[in-house]
Amino acid sequence: MPSTSRRPFALLSTLGTLAAAGGAAALAVQLYRRPVETAVFVSRAALLLAGVREETCDVGNLPIHYYCAGRRGTPIILIHGIGNSAEVWSSLLLRLSKEYLVYAPDLPGFGKTPVASEGFTIATHVLYLKRFLDLLGYPQVTLVGNSLGGWIATRFALAYPERVHHLYLLNSAGLRREEMNSPFAVDRAAAQRSANNMLGYQLPLPGFILDAIVRTSQMPAYAKFVTHYDSQEELDSVLSQVHTPTTIIWGEKDKIFPVTCAYDFHAGIANSELVLLRGIGHLPQLQASAKVAEIIMRDHALREER
């Protein structure tokens, strides 16, 4: 009999087999109508099956939805990117929580967390991250951020350096370069380009998937962040002020934020470590979760020993 610890991975990898065994038609219809929501549902089921705790806390009259697993060590906080939700961390959360205490919240306006009244800026996300950590009662944490989440994590480390044990930036946003490609999609053609740029290779997608990508771009917290973009929140001028121990993990195939951005983060943050992942795109936590977990657990163990 397979062990309980392996069940969530089996659930994610054998969805097609389970569908064929029963309920295939219903699942197919749901997948067609709401592909993103169906993927989130499956990821959530895998997390709950593994014993991950799902909770909501009221932070400044805003209910923040989050997952939590593990019980020891400096807490690791996983901060997702724009258009994503906490479930994007499912695989990494399960791996890290075998050794450490891990949290994965939904940012304001994404997943099950409502939009914050303060707006859609990086500063707003930093504010609610602080309130979230204050409520949990942790004076110091490790921050792991992907894309927009990396930008938020960096700004948090700048504002509250004493509260960040280590900073991990996974294909982080926050710099502006001409060779970047926005993931924002207004139609199917743009959605296909966005998917290709994110994956790092060409993958023709069916129309219903492309339509889902467009719908994601229309989410208020996504669309209004783009339309109200504040260049003053960019990181170029402040990277030298980041004194938190930092590891930059970058998928080399990313065409949203190409690898030149990784080198710029590395050059800007003194004494940072740069780890490049060959053949990986914009989402290392999905495309190379085992490797990312290995890097974080290695560093975490070394620092816990000191």
Examine residue 236 and state whether it is found in any structural domain, yes or no: yes
Query: Within a domain: residue 13?
Result: no
Tell me the Ramachandran region of residue 47: left when phi exceeds 0, alpha when psi lies from -120 to 50, beta otherwise.
alpha
Is pLDDT of 38 > 90? Answer: no
- What would the pLDDT profile of 267-289 be if each residue is shown by its tens digit? 999 999 999 999 999 999 999 99
Residue 43 lies in a domain: no
Residue 124 is predicted with a pLDDT of: 97
Write down the pLDDT at residue 14: 47
Mean pLDDT of 99-122: 96
Question: Is 109 domain-assigned?
Answer: yes
Using the 8-state DSSP alphabet, how is residue 279 labeled?
A: T
When pLDDT is averaged across residues 96-119 and rounded to a whole number, the result is 96
pLDDT > 60? residue 21: no
Q: 73: pLDDT confidence band, cut at 50, 70 and 90?
A: confident
pLDDT digit string, tens, across residues 227-280:
999 999 999 999 999 999 999 999 999 999 999 999 999 999 999 999 999 999
* Predicted local distance difference test score (pLDDT) of residue 235: 98
d(CA 14, CA 17): 5
Query: Containing domain of residue 239, as a range?
Result: 53-305
Query: What average pLDDT does the segment 37-57 reach?
Result: 93
DSSP code, position 182? -
CATH number at residue 58: 3.40.50.1820
Nearest to 82 by CA among 172, 159, 155, 12: 172
Nearest to 51 by CA among 114, 98, 84: 98
The residue to which tokens 């974080």 are assigned? 296
> Which whole number is the average pLDDT over 163-187?
96
d(CA 242, CA 157): 7
How far is CA 213 from each of CA 185, 219, 235, 247, rounded to the nearest angstrom? Answer: 7, 10, 27, 30
Residue 18: pLDDT above 50?
no
Confidence of residue 303 (pLDDT cuts 50, 70, 90): low
pLDDT score of 1: 43
Q: 33 falls in which pLDDT band (50, 70, 90)?
A: low
On whether residue 103 sits in a domain, the answer given is: yes
d(CA 28, CA 76): 36
Position 20 scores a pLDDT of 40
Record the pTM.
0.89
| Number of domains the chain contains | 1
pLDDT class of 2 with cuts at 50, 70, 90: very low
The token pair that represents 132 in the structure block:
């979230």
The whole-angstrom separation of Cα 280 and Cα 103 is 24
- Residues 6 or more apart whose CB falls under 8 angstroms from that of 114 comprise 62, 63, 108
